[in-house]
Amino acid sequence: YSFRGISIPPGVQTYHVNFIENTADNIVADLSQDFTNTLRQKIRQESPLLETDIDPHAEFKGTITEYRVSAEAPNTQIEVAFNRVTMNVTMEYFNNLSPDEEPKKKNFSVQREFDANTNLLDVQDGLIEEMNLQ
């Protein structure tokens, strides 16, 4: 089996997702909880693994390292054309059945754009949901 680029080793039948901390400068309420829940649900739906808190075979740990909103313009002659939300996450995967194996670590970066005339608070929840799913 494969879970988005991570091959599931033979014998691995259970998993646990630790709470994903948010260390970004811009703190958004519930971002960590939403990301953690989305990841748990995604693994549950897209893999044969069973979720457990006790001695999991596979374990996921991570940190939201950046959540940033920036104004973007295609060139210096034009006003801001759109705004961009960027979220960076660092994830680690541990195979607890092979404790001598190095954890697999990967950084993910996701961006979403929205109209410059739109208030961020009006679209933020939807953008976060889209980024979490990706």
Taking only the tens place, the pLDDT of each residue in 2-57 is 445 557 788 999 999 999 999 999 889 899 999 999 999 999 998 899 999 999 99
What share of the chain has pLDDT > 90, as a percent? 74
Burial-class residue 27 by CB neighbours within 10 Å (0-12, 13-18, 19+). Answer: exposed
What pLDDT is stored for residue 112 in this prediction? 95
Averaged pLDDT, 95-112:
94
